[in-house]
């Protein structure tokens, strides 16, 4: 499903990036980096009503020729990015939302580890296993 999953800190530096085709890893780093501006813009343009503030899922950030980039922001401004192939047409918006919820839950579980210092690179094997499950091609 996903070809790249990234967790970006509040200060916009990567905490975790995992890609499937490792030969194009630099391309995905660039894609994740360029989507940060779109995420910041979407955060600023969200209305100030109570209903819109609770919406963490940002939806499709932008499509490229080969990929679609989706975004999600936590209440603490940690950003999640999932990149999927554009050729995957059977993928629904609800499925992307559920992937982000699973990723958010895995991130919260990882944060509960007393040996993890927030803001450091994520090296948790459990978190990595959860992300690997999202990246398995169906």
Q: What is the pLDDT of residues 19-29, one digit of tens each?
A: 987 777 888 88
Q: If pLDDT is split at 50, 70 and 90, which confidence band does 138 have?
A: very low
Please indicate whether residue 138 or residue 53 has the higher confidence score (pLDDT): 53
Q: What is the DSSP string of 52-116?
A: HHT--EEEEEEE-SSEEEEEEE-TT--EEEEEEETT-TT--HHHHHHHHHHHHHHHHHHHT-TTP
pLDDT of 51 reads 52
pLDDT of 108 reads 93
CB 74 within 8 A of CB 103: no
Domain boundaries, the chain: 2-135
Specify the CATH number of the domain 2-135: 3.30.450.70
């Amino acid at each position: 499903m996903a070809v790249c999953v990234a967790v970006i800190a509040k200060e916009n530096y990567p905490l975790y990036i995992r890609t499937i085709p490792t030969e194009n890893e630099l391309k995905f780093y660039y894609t994740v980096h360029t989507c940060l501006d779109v995420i910041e813009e979407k955060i600023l343009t969200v209305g100030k009503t109570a209903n819109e503030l609770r919406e963490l899922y940002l939806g499709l950030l932008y499509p490229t020729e080969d990929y679609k980039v989706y975004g999600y922001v936590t209440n603490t401004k940690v950003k999640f990015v999932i990149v999927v192939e554009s050729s995957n047409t059977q993928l629904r918006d609800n499925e992307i939302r559920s992937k982000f919820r699973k990723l958010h839950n895995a991130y919260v579980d990882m944060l509960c580890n007393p040996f993890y210092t927030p803001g450091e690179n994520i090296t948790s094997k459990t978190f990595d296993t959860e992300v690997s499950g999202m990246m398995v091609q169906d």
